[in-house]
């Protein structure tokens, strides 16, 4: 193992990272009053004949890819679109009418879709805090579900979606579309073939520019076109204190999960896939901060996460400040075997190198529609095992994002120039590159505070932390009345 770790560390020097500042301690939450709710399932309504009738929920951003994946493709028809903000539906309505020859029905309230027996599939592309509850309600109502990544806002509710899909015998695909891209599937197959030895460590990279979202002096008004109660759903109904109510929710803890749960979930998923890790890790550590600017965002714009899988490890890095690539990639993965490695510089490309850094193979090929097509085939066959991104895979990868954020949010601030105690060589190396990255961005490590997260130990079987009651509280959250994610399916 020491030889293997030496091999990892002797690779070309990683590129600079940036660390962020504001950690949010989440101790003291009272979950004693959380209610649970399980809706009675409607009569199971599967695929009617060959054509699948689809409702797309949330069409302001990623939802347009869902429209493109279903409307007029794979023998599907988008019969309904649903969004709690009427001002954002125009593009979806026009696109669907152009493709299908008829405008779809519009619903503002997701709950009205559940009793509509003409709908076979619910495709969810809302903000993260709604993903699990909508999926559970749709599964209980007998619908098959395509739910965007991350499939959950916290660890517990992701497991509940898995349980619901199994209990109600529905097909549930997570929106980790890299799993259906031919180039990525070939790269993973090569990683698992043994041709570069055993994969002992994987890295996920999200070196993606994230500028300031600005600061507002006062809470922003709610658009008259939006039902804000519906928008908040299971999350707290707090005032909007950011310039943009849409998209910038990614950087607010109540609704988003930072870049771990935005772009990072794709790279985290591929990193876990390459490791063949089908349960949560034994431990997690994260550090970082929101550096380089002051704004209304809460989540890190730079972060390092280290996941302990015993003899194997997964490291993830987020850099939102300007940076160079690492080993030819900024948003992608590196899979380290005992006799070589694979660099994946995109969601659909893999380049294989032997231990002497000589390229020996290359794979490519992608496109969103492969994932939607895979889902439709599984729905028609009534075989969840056909899915490339089954909900269990989505849950395990989404949970990694949440675990990293829990460690970070329970951390304490210190100067980056101070030594971080107790880290293994892999994490120590990453921290050193982070400091160099900050220097490249004119941030003095001796004057820059970062949050050093709590080192957490897990029981992978129960998906809970060992001897850490405060961290265990953060595996779930309180829910607003009427929007409770059930604690048990």
Could you tell me the pLDDT band of residue 323, with boundaries at 50, 70 and 90?
A: very high
pLDDT digits (tens, 9 = 90+) for 154-188: 999 999 999 999 999 999 999 999 999 999 999 99
Could you tell me the pLDDT band of residue 289, with boundaries at 50, 70 and 90?
A: very high
What is the reported pLDDT for 450? 96
What is the reported pLDDT for 46? 41
pLDDT higher than threshold 50 for residue 45: no
Residue 148's alpha-carbon distances to 58, 143, 145, 176, in angstroms, are 10, 16, 10, 7
What is the reported pLDDT for 22? 30
Distance CA 339, CA 4 (A): 9
Tokens of residue 128, six digits: 């993260």
What is the reported pLDDT for 423? 84
Threshold 0.85, pTM exceeds: yes
pLDDT digits (tens, 9 = 90+) for 353-383: 999 999 999 999 988 799 999 999 999 999 9
Distance CA 290, CA 321 (A): 10
Could you tell me the pLDDT band of residue 49, with boundaries at 50, 70 and 90?
A: low
Nearest to 137 by CA among 105, 88, 170, 104: 170
pLDDT higher than threshold 50 for residue 7: no
pLDDT digits (tens, 9 = 90+) for 416-461: 888 888 888 888 888 888 888 989 999 988 889 999 999 999 999 9
Query: Distance between terminal CA atoms of the chain?
Result: 42
Over range 292-319, report the average pLDDT. Answer: 97
pLDDT higher than threshold 50 for residue 13: no
pLDDT digits (tens, 9 = 90+) for 218-232: 999 999 999 999 999
Percent of the chain at pLDDT exceeding 70: 90
Q: Which residues contact 295 (CB under 8 A, 6 or more apart)?
A: 212, 213, 214, 215
């Amino acid at each position: 193992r020491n030889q293997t770790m030496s091999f990892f560390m002797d690779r070309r020097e990683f590129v600079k990272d940036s660390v962020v500042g504001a950690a949010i301690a989440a101790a003291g939450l009272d979950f004693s009053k959380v209610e649970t709710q399980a809706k009675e399932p409607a009569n199971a309504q599967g695929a009617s004949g060959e054509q699948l009738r689809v409702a797309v929920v949330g069409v302001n951003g990623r939802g347009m890819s869902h429209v493109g994946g279903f409307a007029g493709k794979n023998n599907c028809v988008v019969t309904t679109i649903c969004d709690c903000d009427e001002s954002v539906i125009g593009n979806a309505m026009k696109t669907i009418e152009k493709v299908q020859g008829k405008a779809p029905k519009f619903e503002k309230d997701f709950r009205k879709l559940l009793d509509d027996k003409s709908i076979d599939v619910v495709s969810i592309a809302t903000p993260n805090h709604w993903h699990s509850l909508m999926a559970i309600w749709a599964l209980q109502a007998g619908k098959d579900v395509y739910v965007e990544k991350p499939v959950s806002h916290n660890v517990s509710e992701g497991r509940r979606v898995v349980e619901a899909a199994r209990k109600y015998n529905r097909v549930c695909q997570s929106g980790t579309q890299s799993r259906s891209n031919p180039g990525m599937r070939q790269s993973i197959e090569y990683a698992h073939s043994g041709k570069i030895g055993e994969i002992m460590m994987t890295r996920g990279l999200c070196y993606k520019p994230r500028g300031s979202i600005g600061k507002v002096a006062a809470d922003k008004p709610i658009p008259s076109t939006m039902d804000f109660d519906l928008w908040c759903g299971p999350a707290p109904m707090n005032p909007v204190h950011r310039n943009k109510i849409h998209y910038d929710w990614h950087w607010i803890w109540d609704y988003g999960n930072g870049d771990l749960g935005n772009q990072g979930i794709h790279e985290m998923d591929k990193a876990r896939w390459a490791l063949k890790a089908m349960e949560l890790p034994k431990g997690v550590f994260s550090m970082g901060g929101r550096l380089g600017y002051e704004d209304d965002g809460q989540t890190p714009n730079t972060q390092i996460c280290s996941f302990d899988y015993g003899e194997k490890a997964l490291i993830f890095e987020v850099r939102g400040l300007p940076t160079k690539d690492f080993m030819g990639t900024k948003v992608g993965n590196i899979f380290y075997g005992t006799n070589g490695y694979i660099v994946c510089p995109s969601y659909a490309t893999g380049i294989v190198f032997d231990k002497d850094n000589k390229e020996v193979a290359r794979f490519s090929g992608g496109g969103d529609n492969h994932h939607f097509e895979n889902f439709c085939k599984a729905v028609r066959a009534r075989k969840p095992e056909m899915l490339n991104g089954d909900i269990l895979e989505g849950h395990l990868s989404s949970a990694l994002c949440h675990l990293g954020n829990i460690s970070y949010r329970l951390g304490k601030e210190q100067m980056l120039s101070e030594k971080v105690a107790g880290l293994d060589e892999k994490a120590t190396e990453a921290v050193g590159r982070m400091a160099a990255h900050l220097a490249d961005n004119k941030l003095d490590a001796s004057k820059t505070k970062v949050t050093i997260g709590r080192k957490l130990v897990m029981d992978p079987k129960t998906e809970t932390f060992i001897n850490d009651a405060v961290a265990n509280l953060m595996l779930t959250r309180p829910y607003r009345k009427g929007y409770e994610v059930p604690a048990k399916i």
